Each structure stands twice: as C-alpha cells, then as structure tokens.
Amino acid sequence: MGEATVAGADSRTADIVPGPGGVMTDEVGVVTGELTLRTELSDGQVTLRVQYKDADEWYAVTGARAPLADPAGLDAVHTIAVGLLHRPEG
C-alpha cells in the first residue's frame, strides 16, 4: 500500500471495505464499497479521509478529526480507525 502525500502532513493509508451503511463523509454523504482510508496528521490534528479505491478525490470522514499531542500516536490511531471502519463481513 502506498503512502498518501499531503503537504506538511504525515499519513497512513489502508484499503478498507465498510460494513452496511458505509462511511459518512462531510462532502458527499455516505460512501460504500472498496475504499482507501487515510489517517493524516497535520498541525497537531489527526483527520480521517476516505476515497473510492484508486479515485482522485478524498472526503473527510464526518466527526473524525481530533487533536493528537504526540505524533508517535499516529500509527495507533490509524490501526484503531481501520479496525472500526473495515467490516467486510458486515
């Protein structure tokens, strides 16, 4: 899996398949199907974004922004996010 690059941001990516109901985004509402999740850290804030797999546009996951005081926690936040959102069995 490739690393997404955002100016000034550190990020992790993973391919996910959300369960029924998909993932709510700020820009387009619910997205479903094969997605890529990006957990990014910029200016002390961690933000989750998703895109349709291999698409160009990223969407902010609704309610998925929080302060992260220690950048070393990015891997743990990403692992938890994947665990919560990746539900291929429903």
pLDDT in tens, 42-54: 999 999 999 999 9
Quote the CA–CA distance of 20 and 40 in Å, as a whole number.
Answer: 25
Predicted pLDDT at 7: 46
Phi and psi torsions of 17, nearest 5°: -130, 110
Domain ranges, ordered by start, for the chain: 10-85
**pLDDT tens by residue, 27-46:** 999 999 999 999 999 999 99
Q: How confident is the model at residue 8 (pLDDT cuts 50, 70, 90)?
A: low
Q: How far apart are CA 42 and CA 89, in angstroms?
A: 32
Nearest Cα residue to 75 out of 45, 41, 51, 30 = 41
Q: What percent of the chain has pLDDT over 90?
A: 89
pLDDT of residue 90: 84
List the structure tokens of 67: 């302060």
Cα–Cα nearest to 3, from 67, 75, 66: 75
